[in-house]
Amino acid sequence: MINNNLRNKKKYIHIKNRINEFITDNEVRLVGDNINPGIYKTRDALIIAKEHNLDLVEITKNVKPSIVKIIDYKKFLYEQKKKIFKLKNNKTVIKEIRFGPNTNDHDFEFKLKHAIKFIKNGAKVKPYVYFKGRSIVYKQQGENLLLKFIKSLNDIAKVEQMPKLEGKRMFVVITPIRK
């Protein structure tokens, strides 16, 4: 039984948050649910945590007295991992919409509806005009088409990058307006 407790304590030593008996400060600022917040002696805070069958976890140690919270330690670790995972997976989605330099009004409106849907879902939109063969002569028409597209989305999105020609493509990057 004693060996198991020692093994468990060794696991906690390597983790950045100190818990229970590993908190070495004399006084701590105690917070938690159903607890009177305040400054307590560490042993008194530990007794309160044991009464609630929870752990005393050090949240911040850079301040005096260090802030500790009475919470289930496994739940605390789960919430920390969840926050880190959410931060790592917050990726930007870019949707591309292709036009020709001579796109008619119906096709333009159809693609505009798709762009509105993408922007409302929080994705960036990258409309581009693709010039095939000799259609590169119609650069001005392509730029006018993209400027018309930008103007149509002006109330829900902003332009991140103005029309730019790269090779046979002229594109714009549009991002949703954050509220």
| 7-28 pLDDT per residue, tens | 454 444 345 777 887 887 888 8
Query: What secondary structure letter does DSSP report for 132?
Result: P
- The Cα 72–Cα 86 span in angstroms is 21
Question: pTM here?
Answer: 0.51
How do the domains of the chain map onto residue ranges?
2-87, 94-176
Q: For the segment 36-70, what is each residue's pLDDT rounded down to a tens digit?
A: 888 888 888 888 888 888 888 888 878 888 888 88
Task: Round to whole Å and give the CA distance between 6 and 2.
Answer: 6
Q: Which carries the bigger pLDDT value, residue 92 or residue 153?
A: 153
Report the CATH fold assignment for 2-87: Ubiquitin-like (UB roll) (3.10.20)
| Mean pLDDT value across residues 90-94 | 79
Q: Give the up-direction half-sphere exposure of residue 36: CA atoms within 13 A in the CB hemisphere.
A: 4
How far is it, in rounded angstroms, from Cα 56 to Cα 51?
Answer: 11
CATH superfamily of this structure's domain 94-176: Translation initiation factor 3 (IF-3), C-terminal domain (3.30.110.10)
Q: What are the b/e assignments for 3-21, b being 16+ CB within 10 Å?
A: eeeeeeeeeeeeeebbbbe
